[in-house]
Amino acid sequence: MSTPSHSAPPAGSPVEKNDFIRQIIREDLASGKHATIHTRFPPEPNGYLHIGHAKSICLNFGIGLEFAGPCNLRFDDTNPSKEDLEYVAAIQDDIRWLGFEWSELRHASDYFEVFYRSALKLIRDGKAFVCDLDADQVRAYRGTLTEPGRNSPFRERSVEENLDLFQRMRAGEFPDGARTLRAKIDMGSGNINLRDPAIYRIRHVHHQNTGDAWPIYPMYDYAHCISDALEGITHSLCTLEFEDHRPLYDWCIDQIDLGGHPELWQPLVEAGLKTTISKPRQIEFSRLNINYTVMSKRKLMALVNEGLVAGWDDPRMPTLQGLRRRGYTPASLRLLADRVGISKQNSLIDFSILEGCVREDLDANAPRRMAVIDPLKVVIDNLEPHHEETLTFANHPKNETFGTRSVPFSRELWIEREDFMETPPKGFHRLVPGGEVRLRGVGIVKCVDVVKDGETVIEVHCTLDPESRAGMPGADRKIKGTIHWVSARHAAPAEIRLYDRLFGVADPDNDEGGRDYHECINPDSVRHVRGYLEPAAAGADAEQNLQFERLGYFVADRRDHRDGHPVFNRTVTLRDSWAKPA
């Protein structure tokens, strides 16, 4: 087994985290119950991971980091009809991007023979039976939350008949849905999960790892606990919706008794697959819920398949691939997981908390550059037509270790159109006819003329006060407004994608009044504009995060950005534009 490898937690994280799960682990170590803590992250490869999974990844791999124990990546590949190798590759990419590395890579399909042998044991012990009821009949027999269920008419089949039928299921004799293997527990249980749940179903489906070897596949609740036990998992951490499944988890572990029946997992020994039998403890915690988004895989899949977004990595999607392309950093998501914390209480996190985490990280770590996304031409009349000079700017105003860069300056500039107004409202401290403003790093300019095409301003003429330049006597003259700019002669045209929240309402899952989440999509969730960048911004590497001064945080697109064709995605604005006025 390789040594677990993890990246360091982001700056500002507590050295020792203290939540109820970590408290349990510390007590288990102190009592000698476990010498080593072993966790796992068990995704199903039936879609891309979303931000909710980031919390689980940070918890499971973080536990490994903090307690010097291994953390496995195990793919729950028990439903091949919905799974794809594309998702497998993306999941591995996401985990590594977040800064973690698994100790071992496992698949539930590694254990198919063990699952089968364990099912045969349950049948021989009188704890499982083959049932011929179809799905609708099973639901009818199951009962409700207030009424007990009824025994299947096939529940009392003999052990011999059950063994014969299950082995014939394994041989592929029956069509899909004809029969299931069900655990024989208690149809009168107050926990519906214990009312003789299915543990195997017939599916004649090709599997990505096992091919056509298996026409039957185990159910998640059955396969998951056995997988945990085979891998020596000590603490099986999952979200609160599995709390009612825990009695079934424990029932399977106890009834199968892998520790007392090594013949069940002998195939793994013969295959050279390391096996350490444990009795894992399932512990549930609250999932990460964020408003202004949906995290149902079904709905995310629909957004992709219906062309409402540009794929799983669309920067508006809450998938980890989408967040990465949007410019969210691994450190910002780890910081979010720290801030949200681990508890038993379900809660809804405001989207602004996520945005605040990435702002905090990028404020400290993103170099500054100048860009203009809605350009208006400015001509400085008292400079020579071919005037050109190079100015020196700090790459980060708060951190000298970022160094400096050279920025070209010339007579003609691009500024933001919103930085000029002919008839400004009270409190407008930018450029106006006859008014003055400071050009960032240059000096003070005064508007002396305006060129228009109809009602549209197309050019603003100014004069530069030479006494206001750096090192001159008037450099400290007080002016309320400062604006940024880009030299028109040296500017690099760029595609700028202005992303915002995909949904315009806080709870797009709310279907009251017949409303569908499709109707909640924010029509302004993306705008494509042509802007201009200073040369140092255009030369950024793909996935480099930058702050475009006064505009927000942006990232060079990981797919489309290239030399000669800069493409930047807005990660987040400098301030929360969705906050309600006080």
3-state secondary structure string across 251-281: HHHHHHCHHHCHHHHHHHHHCCCCCCCCCCE
Residue 535 predicted with pLDDT over 50: yes
> Any residues with CB less than 8 A from the CB of 484 and at least 6 apart, and which?
370, 372, 415, 416, 440, 549, 550
Answer yes or no: do 78 and 12 share one domain: yes
One-letter amino acid identity for 125?
D
User: String of b and e for 156-189 (b: at least 16 CB within 10 Å)?
Assistant: ebeeeebeebbeebbeeebeeeebbbbbbbebeb
Q: How many domains does the chain have?
A: 3
Domain boundary, last residue among 272, 290, 308: 290
Does residue 97 lie in a domain region? yes
Percent of the chain with pLDDT over 70: 97
Looking at the structure, do residues 1 and 105 belong to the same domain, yes or no?
A: yes
Are residues 151 and 163 both part of a single domain? yes
Is residue 104's pLDDT more than 50?
yes
Distance of CA 146 to the CA centre of its chain: 38
Give pLDDT tens digits for 35-72.
999 999 999 999 999 999 999 999 999 999 999 999 99
- Checking if the pLDDT of 2 tops 50, the result is no
* 409 confidence band (pLDDT: 50, 70, 90): very high
Compute the mean pLDDT over every residue in the chain, rounded to the nearest whole number: 95
Answer yes or no: is 6 a known binding residue.
Answer: no
- Does the residue 447 lie in any domain? yes
Q: Is 485 domain-assigned? A: no
Per the annotation, does 287 bind a ligand?
yes
For the chain, how many residues are written?
A: 582
Question: Could you tell me if 412 and 529 lie in one domain?
Answer: no
pLDDT band at 9 (very low <50, low <70, confident <90, very high): very low
Structure tokens at 179: 């029969």
Instruction: Give the range of the structural domain holding residue 152, as residue numbers without chain letter.
Output: 1-290
500 in the same domain as 411:
no
pTM of the model: 0.93
| Residue 352, in any domain of the structure | yes
107 is in an annotated binding site: no
Give CA–CA dist 300/306, Å, rounded: 10
The verdict on 155 and 283 lying in the same domain is yes
Q: Average pLDDT in the 373-386 region?
A: 97
pLDDT tens, residue by residue, 434-447: 999 999 999 999 99
Tens-place pLDDT, residues 513-534: 888 999 999 999 999 999 999 9
Give residue 7's pLDDT. Answer: 39
Contact 251, 226 (CB under 8 A): no
Quote the CA–CA distance of 444 and 382 in Å, as a whole number: 13
Q: Do 170 and 159 belong to one domain?
A: yes
For residue 566, what is the domain's CATH number?
2.40.240.10
221 with 100, same domain?
Answer: yes
Domain presence at residue 483: no
Residues acting as catalytic residues: 44, 287, 297
Instruction: Find out whether 295 is annotated in a ligand binding site.
Output: yes
CATH number at residue 5: 3.40.50.620
Give the pLDDT mean for 313-322.
98
Annotation-wise, does 288 bind a ligand?
yes
Residue 54 assigned to a binding site: yes
User: Is residue 251 located within the same domain as residue 319?
Assistant: no
Q: Are residues 384 and 528 in the same domain?
A: no
Distance CA 34, CA 24 (A): 11
pLDDT given for residue 11 in this prediction: 41
Contact status, residue 521 vs residue 504, Cβ threshold 8 Å: yes
Same domain, 205 and 127: yes
Is 557 a member of any domain?
Answer: yes
In a domain, residue 160? The reply is yes
Same domain, 453 and 569: no
Q: Is residue 12 part of a domain?
A: yes
- Predicted local distance difference test score (pLDDT) of residue 346: 87
**Known binder of ligand: residue 289?**
no
The per-residue pLDDT for range 110-140, each reduced to its tens digit, is 999 999 999 999 999 999 999 999 999 999 9
Residue 376 has pLDDT above 70, yes or no: yes
Q: Is 263 annotated as a binding residue?
A: no
CB 540 within 8 A of CB 496: no
Compute the average pLDDT of residues 182-192. Answer: 97
- Kindly state the DSSP code that residue 345 receives in the 8-state scheme: S
pLDDT in tens, 487-504: 999 999 999 999 999 999
